Amino acid sequence: MLGIRAKIVLPFTALFVATILVVAFLAARVTARTMDERIQAQMTDLTAVLSQAGFAGNPNVLRKVKTIVGGELATVDAGGAVLATTLRQDEALALGRLLAAEPPAAEAGAAPTRRLRLGVCVYRATFAPVGASHWHKGKAFLYLLAPEAEIRAASRRAARPILVAAACGVVAVVIIGYVVGHRISRPVKALASQARELARGGADGRLAATSRDEVGELAGAFNALLASLRRAEAKLVASERLAAVGQVAAGIAHEVRNPLSGVKMSAQLLRRRLRELGAGDEESVGVMLAEIARLEVIIDDLLTFAKPIQLKRERGGLNAVVGEVLDFMARQLEHAGITVRRELDEGLPTVALDPQRVRQVVLNLVLNAIEAMPNGGTLTARTRATDEAAVGELDDTGHGMAAEVGERVFEPFFTTKRGGSGLGLGVSRTIIEAHGGTLRFQPLETGTRFAFTIPRG
Ligand SMILES: Nc1ncnc2c1ncn2[C@@H]1O[C@H](COP(=O)(O)OP(=O)(O)O)[C@@H](O)[C@H]1O
Ligand SMILES: [Mg+2]
């Protein structure tokens, strides 16, 4: 797999290096050729000047001139015979042979330059006809010979700075490429290793955003993701715990239900007996029965919470259910100093409801109302019809709810009461929503209103 470094930095580095090399190579070639041409021109000029100086036939003078100009000199006649020269004898002989085969005169008009191999050494030669040759009857030529290798070396020397600069450029580009690549990939790698570390270490910790660039942004995004993962994890743990608690609670509720119904039956029997005997003690048995009903509600709430509810719907009136609960709780309400007002709409249409479940809801709301009015008050139970639903409302004149509590009252286990289960409203809402209705509360000037709807459909 190619890393970011290889994908981005390598191609650019290669491009830079290639460009530098091509440009440097062309520049070096041009410089070398220019140098070569300049040497050539100097030789031509020098030859022209020297050939007119009048000493061409004198080997001693030629030797002195050689030390000044730095090249070999030779004077030859039109037939190619060497008249005077600074060349070594073997080279002079070779020159004589070459020029005899191809005498200078034959080249008149051509560029007066030739390459001549004399023994092992190749010379570049320029020549010019010698003027005023009083020492020689025929026409003569002066040759200036410079070793080709030296000219080449001079040209190369001229081009060398360019090549050195290019090499420095290439090294610099490679170093910069490496550094840039490192700077790009290092934070990403650091981030990756941090993320791995976090994954291994589990729960807490965040990625440190080291920079304000895209990598920093990435770290921020990672952190957001991490936070939401942790929230999800916490939720999962909470719901798992809730499920476990629900299972246990449901088990206990189930065990308590049967003995409780035995107690209830006995209490009912007792009340009937007392009534028959006219003993007048039935009232305390009534309170007993109301308390048993409260226990039943708690058990029902727990069981409803633990299991998905299945409604047993039938067509019925809401008034009957509400009236039943109020009758049932009459003694306890009276006992708590609460006046009950019934504002039940007689023309309320029937709806499809599960009477037992809706009774559970109303009982929960009435119990909450009683608990909200420890010093007594008024409980108004109202039913009314809208176009879509039958509505039940329970208004109390109790202490009301703190503003910050709000919708949390519907959360399972949320309670502000000592010994409260916190299940009542949550379960009630679940039951009402299973009917397709809503359960809401509304603060009153004094007290609270809880209203639920059961759709007509
Ligand atoms: N009529 C009410 N007036 C004031 N607060 C209420 C009323 N009904 C419910 N609440 C608040 O909602 C909370 C949750 O109620 P609920 O789910 O029935 O659980 P519990 O009754 O066990 O506390 C209560 O603890 C209480 O703070
Ligand atoms: Mg309650």
The interaxial angle of helices 282-306 and 318-335, nearest 10 deg, is 130
Is any atom of ligand 1 closer than 6 Å to the C-beta of 140?
no
pLDDT in tens, 18-59: 999 999 999 999 999 999 999 988 988 888 888 887 777 788
Q: How far away, in angstroms, is 268 Cα from ligand 2 center? A: 25
Question: C-alpha distances in angstroms, 194 versus 2, 221, 339, 431?
Answer: 21, 14, 67, 48
* CB 448, CB 396: distance < 8 Å: yes
Is any atom of ligand 1 closer than 6 Å to the C-beta of 422?
yes
Name all contacts of 297-300 with Cβ < 8 Å and 24+ positions apart.
Answer: 297/360, 297/363, 297/364, 297/367, 297/424, 298/253, 298/421, 298/423, 299/253, 299/256, 299/257, 299/260, 300/360, 300/427
Q: How far away, in angstroms, is 25 Cα from ligand 2 center? A: 92
Is any atom of ligand 1 closer than 6 Å to the C-beta of 210?
no
Is any atom of ligand 1 closer than 6 Å to the C-beta of 394?
no
In this predicted model, which residue has the larger pLDDT, 153 or 106? 153
Residue nearest to atom 4 of ligand 1 (CA): 400
Pocket test residue of 302, 368, 427 for ligand 1, highest count of atoms within 8 A of CB: 368
Distance between CA 287 and CA 371 in Å, rounded? Answer: 16
Is any atom of ligand 1 closer than 6 Å to the C-beta of 377?
no
Distance between CA 380 and CA 392 in Å, rounded? Answer: 11
Give ion ligand 2 contacts, CB < 5 A.
368, 424
pLDDT in tens, 138-182: 678 888 999 999 999 999 999 999 999 999 999 999 999 888 888
* CB 360, CB 300: distance < 8 Å: yes
Q: How far away, in angstroms, is 415 Cα from ligand 1 center? A: 6
Question: Which residues is 391 bridged to in the sheet?
Answer: 384, 453
Distance between CA 404 and CA 413 in Å, rounded? Answer: 17
pLDDT average, residue stretch 436-450: 96
Is any atom of ligand 1 closer than 6 Å to the C-beta of 194?
no
Quick one: pLDDT at residue 202?
59
Q: Lowest mean pLDDT of 25-39, 47-61, 267-281, 364-378, name the range.
A: 47-61
Helices (H) and strands (E) in the chain, counts: 10, 12
Token pair listed for 327: 């009758």
pLDDT in tens, 212-248: 788 888 888 888 888 898 899 888 888 888 778 778 8
Is any atom of ligand 1 closer than 6 Å to the C-beta of 424?
yes
Strand boundaries in 246-334, DSSP class E:
314-316
Q: Which ligand sits nearest to residue 419's alpha carbon?
A: 1
pLDDT average, residue stretch 268-293: 85
Q: How far away, in angstroms, is 290 Cα from ligand 2 center? A: 15
Closest CA to 114 of 101, 104, 124: 124
Residue 112 φ/ψ, nearest 5 degrees? -75, 60
Is any atom of ligand 1 closer than 6 Å to the C-beta of 417?
yes
Residue 55 φ/ψ, nearest 5 degrees? -110, 15
- pTM of the prediction? 0.53
Token pair listed for 116: 């001549």
Residue 278 pLDDT level (bands cut at 50, 70, 90): confident
Residue 7 pLDDT level (bands cut at 50, 70, 90): confident
Is any atom of ligand 1 closer than 6 Å to the C-beta of 416?
yes
Is any atom of ligand 1 closer than 6 Å to the C-beta of 414?
yes
Q: How far away, in angstroms, is 365 Cα from ligand 2 center? A: 7
The distance in angstroms from the start CA to the end CA of the chain is 64
The alpha carbon of 306 is separated from its chain's Cα centroid by a whole number of angstroms, namely 42
pLDDT average, residue stretch 360-383: 96
In this predicted model, which residue has the larger pLDDT, 368 or 198? 368
Residue nearest to atom 5 of ligand 1 (CA): 401
Quick one: pLDDT at residue 313?
94
Token pair listed for 245: 């608690």
Residue nearest to atom 9 of ligand 1 (CA): 368
Pocket test residue of 393, 425, 442 for ligand 1, highest count of atoms within 8 A of CB: 425
Pocket test residue of 370, 396, 409 for ligand 1, highest count of atoms within 8 A of CB: 409
Residue nearest to atom 18 of ligand 1 (CA): 424
Residue nearest to atom 19 of ligand 1 (CA): 422
Distance between CA 150 and CA 158 in Å, rounded? Answer: 12
Is any atom of ligand 1 closer than 6 Å to the C-beta of 372?
yes
Query: Which ligand 1 atom sits nearest the alpha carbon of residue 372?
Result: 3
**Helix, strand, or coil here: 337?**
coil
Strand boundaries in 8-139, DSSP class E:
72-77, 82-85, 113-118, 121-129
Is any atom of ligand 1 closer than 6 Å to the C-beta of 369?
yes
Indicate whether 114 pLDDT > 70. yes
